């Protein structure tokens, strides 16, 4: 049985793939481009393919005639043409919960950087601004206390629920919107409509998958409904936000700051308007990347494949 890993670099620099190699004849590529011909050539006659971000579209699926299983090494599966896969009875799996704690942690890393401004003040101290100061303290940018602020969560899956728990420990007010209403037992969380969330939140954090319905979920019209001075956090998918509209809102002060671990095209393009926007904190899609989290991702990906081969599919995407 031939197994192809199309883009293992993000995982394989410090992780051991021996358990996967024990499952079958494994060819591990660090990277594969987005060109269909290259992808088809690398898949060849393989029946098993694992991918992280390399897209597998209808043309690839049509040509990869032996393909029986696609394992997405991540939660989002927008890189797979699901209609084409289903039409060929190809099983697609993902890893839905491997990064819950890490991404929730990183959501607050972005928020705390915005509200506490650790990075700039650390740099100022190392630039001798403090040693030359007349006072025992100084701050170059305003600091914001989170207690009593309203955090609005768009989407309320596992990651958002963990973010809510952390926010509760900061004595924040927590509201959420989910496209399907959720049953909640906590009396400190309030479920609201989408527009109500936009209007009431001091901080909005995005936790939904990318679909045709969620692309540009936050654009000019939605930003207009937000509080002036709101903070926007995105650790989900870059295309959820209209980046030109967000850049305008940051530059005109409608949005106080944005903390983004994702952008619409990755790696980020030099002409992305957010690179020149005020108070925009951008990191290179690393919320998922602690070694512990990546190790868990690899283990679950291998177990997904083993379950498929045993006839008991786990984490199948329908």
State the pLDDT at residue 195. 98
Residue 30, both tokens: 């660090």
Strand order in the sheet with 173-177: 189-191, 173-177, 150-154, 203-206, 230-234, 255-260, 280-282
State the pLDDT at residue 11. 81
State the pLDDT at residue 14. 85
Spatial CB neighbours of 59, under 8 Å, sequence gap ≥ 6: 36, 40
Alpha helices, H only, 264-290: none
State the pLDDT at residue 117. 97
* Residues with pLDDT less than 50, the chain: none
Distance CA 186, CA 153 (A): 15
State the pLDDT at residue 318. 86
State the pLDDT at residue 76. 86
DSSP character for 80? B
Distance CA 238, CA 66 (A): 33
Q: How many Cβ atoms are within 10 Å of 142's Cβ, its own excluded?
A: 8
What residues are labeled active site? 237, 266, 285
pTM of the model: 0.92
Helix crossing, 291-309 with 100-116: angle to 10°? Answer: 150
């Amino acid at each position: 049985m031939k197994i192809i890993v199309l883009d293992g670099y993000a995982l394989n620099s410090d992780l051991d793939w021996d358990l996967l190699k024990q499952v079958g004849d494994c060819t591990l590529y660090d990277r594969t481009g987005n060109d269909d011909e290259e992808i088809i050539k690398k898949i060849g006659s393989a029946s098993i393919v694992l991918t992280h971000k390399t897209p597998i579209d209808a043309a690839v699926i049509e040509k990869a005639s032996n393909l029986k299983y696609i394992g997405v090494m991540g939660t989002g599966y927008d890189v797979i043409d699901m209609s084409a896969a289903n039409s060929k009875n190809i099983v697609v799996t993902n890893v839905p919960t491997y990064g819950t704690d890490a991404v929730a942690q990183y959501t607050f890393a972005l928020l705390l950087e915005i509200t506490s401004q650790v990075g700039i003040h650390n740099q100022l101290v190392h630039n001798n601004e403090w040693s030359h100061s007349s006072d025992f303290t100084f701050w170059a940018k305003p600091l914001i206390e989170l207690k009593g602020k309203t955090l609005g969560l768009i989407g309320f899956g596992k990651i958002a629920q963990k973010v809510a728990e952390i926010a509760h420990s900061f004595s924040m007010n927590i509201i959420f919107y989910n496209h399907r209403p959720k049953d909640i037992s906590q009396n400190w969380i309030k479920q609201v409509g989408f527009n109500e969330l936009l209007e009431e939140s001091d901080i909005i954090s995005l936790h939904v998958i990318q679909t045709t319905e969620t692309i540009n979920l936050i654009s000019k019209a939605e930003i207009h409904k937000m509080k002036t001075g709101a903070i926007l956090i995105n650790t989900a998918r870059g295309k959820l936000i209209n980046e030109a509209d967000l850049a305008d809102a940051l530059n005109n002060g409608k949005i106080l700051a944005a903390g983004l671990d994702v952008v619409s095209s990755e790696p980020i393009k030099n002409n992305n308007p957010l690179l020149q926007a005020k108070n925009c904190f951008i990191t290179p899609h690393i919320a998922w990347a602690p070694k512990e989290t990546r190790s868990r991702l690899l283990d679950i990906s291998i177990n997904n494949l083993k379950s498929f081969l045993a006839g008991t599919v786990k984490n199948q995407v329908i």
